[in-house]
Amino acid sequence: MQADSTPDRALLVHERLLAHYGRRPLKPQQAPLDELIQTILSQNTSDLNSGRAFASLREAFPSWEAVAEADVEAVAHAIRSGGLARIKAPRIQQIIRHLIQERGEPSLDWLHGLAVEEARAYLTSLPGVGPKTAACVLLFSLHMPAMPVDTHVHRVAQRLGLLGPRINAERAHTLLEGLLPQDLYYSFHLLMIEHGRTLCHAQRPRCSGCPLLDICPHGLAATREQ
């Protein structure tokens, strides 16, 4: 495939990464509120730590209502393995309380009935929910077309020239979504994360063994200097 335009290049990146890493396993689907809370817990920490924090939160409280009514210190204690517990605990409680007050129950299941942009607008209106967290809920739980741009996706996309150097996270979501067909969002997201973790590290990317080297401006410049 030729990569004459940025969308062509994005498609080629997907094709090459798929050939290199194979189809990545989808994340287990869970209720949208669970996905939202798990994603908040994952901010600035590893999947392992946030998974532990989420399991501990579910174990400590019998329901989301109980989390909303609990002392904030008790919630922070339950999620301490995920880091930033004093910030995340009140944020989680605020969201659950807001849903109970507004909808009568702590649930986001009703988002299933909305168009993707309406669901995104609602999610990003909640406290502490930015474009990446919203996109995770849309894609992983609601299976709507949205592209979460985390630190790996952002870095790899910039190095490949799919995003300009000064594009912030918010714009990155819109721009990357515009480059690919919707049915590739999930696969592209997972493959870019795999690539960021495996070869295209933040420090010292392993460009010489990269299947994208010949189409990567950053990698070509870096290997020319060696």
Nearest residue to ligand SF4, using CB?
219
Least distance to ligand SF4, CB of residue 42, Å: 23
133-172 binders of ligand SF4 (CB under 6 A): 156, 159-160
178-207 binders of ligand SF4 (CB under 6 A): 199-200, 205-207
Nearer to ligand SF4, 10 or 207 (CB): 207
Residue 8 backbone dihedrals phi, psi, to 5 degrees = -60, -40
Are 119 and 144 in contact, with CB atoms under 8 Å apart? Answer: yes
* Residue spans of alpha helices (H) in 79-212: 85-103, 116-124, 131-136, 151-159, 169-179, 185-198
- CA atoms of 151 and 121, how far apart (whole Å): 22
Q: Does the footprint of ligand SF4 cover residue 176 (CB under 6 A)?
A: no
Query: Of the candidates 57, 76, 163, 212, which one interacts with ligand SF4 according to CB under 6 A?
Result: 212
- CA atoms of 152 and 115, how far apart (whole Å): 28
Name residues whose C-beta falls within 8 Å of residue 166's C-beta, 6 or more positions apart in sequence.
none
Least distance to ligand SF4, CB of residue 192, Å: 9
Query: Of the candidates 3, 18, 169, 213, which one interacts with ligand SF4 according to CB under 6 A?
Result: 213
Catalytic residue among 132, 159, 189, 195: 132
Nearer to ligand SF4, 173 or 218 (CB): 218
Give per-residue burial for 104-125: e unless 16+ CB within 10 Å, then b: eebbbeebeeeebeebbeebee
The residues binding ligand SF4 (CB under 6 A) are 156, 159-160, 199-200, 205-207, 210, 212-213, 216, 218-219
